Amino acid sequence: AGQRYEAENSPAVCQGTIDSNHAGYSGSGFCNGTSAVGAYSELTVTAVAAGTATLGVRFANGTGAARPASLVVNGSTVATVSFESTGTWTAWSTKTLTAALNTGSNTVRLVSTTAAGLPNVDFIDVR
Ligand code: GCU
């Protein structure tokens, strides 16, 4: 079983606002990132052993255009992710990514690469 890290729970950082106006999210809300290049949602995740982890990012993108982001793990960009349209802001989807994690604490940051900003980010499941 994996561990769920909610984007609205400290020590997570949401450069934007924690909102709860689009149903279907987990926990108490989601991160609505600022609409700007570089705005991020950061989760601090723990790994019991170093190695490749699967990251399930739950998001919603109610626009018609993708919301691309860099996946930055412990300060290094490891992938570019295209968060496609999910149709509406209440339609949540999970994007499965992989990344190498260190034993113990790791920062996982999704950083907007366009002026439109990130999709709304609900949580990351790590296993
Ligand atoms: C709308 C929507 C927000 C979303 C924003 C966006 O304002 O209600 O939840 O974050 O669009 O385009 O990012």
Residue 35 CA, closest ligand 1 atom number: 13
Interval 35-61: pLDDT, tens: 999 999 999 999 999 999 999 999 999
Residue 1 confidence (pLDDT) above 70: no
Determine how many CB atoms are found less than 10 A away from the CB of residue 105: 12
Average confidence (pLDDT) over 2-16: 97
Among residues 79, 81, 73, 126, which one has the least CA distance to residue 102? 73
Q: What is the pLDDT of residue 46?
A: 96
Q: What is the pLDDT of residue 113?
A: 98
* Residue 120 CB–ligand 1 contact under 6 Å: yes
Instruction: Decide if 68 contacts 46 (C-beta within 8 A).
Output: no
Spell out the domains of the chain, with CATH numbers in brackets.
3-126 (2.60.120.260)
Residue 19 CA, closest ligand 1 atom number: 9
* Residue 16 CB–ligand 1 contact under 6 Å: no
In this structure, the residue with its CA closest to atom 8 of ligand 1 is 89
Q: What is the pLDDT of residue 95?
A: 98
Task: Respond yes or no on whether ipTM tops 0.90.
Answer: yes
Interval 49-94: pLDDT, tens: 999 999 999 999 999 999 999 999 999 999 999 999 999 999 999 9
pLDDT classification of 2: cutoffs 50, 70, 90: confident
In this structure, the residue with its CA closest to atom 2 of ligand 1 is 89
Compute the distance from residue 27 Cα to the ligand 1 centre, in Å. Answer: 19
Q: Which of 120, 121, 122 to mutate to test the pocket of ligand 1 (most atoms within 8 A of CB)?
A: 120
Compute the distance from residue 32 Cα to the ligand 1 centre, in Å. Answer: 7
Helix H, strand E, coil C: the string for 73-109 is ECCEEEEEEEECCCCCCCCCEEEEEEEEECCEEEEEE
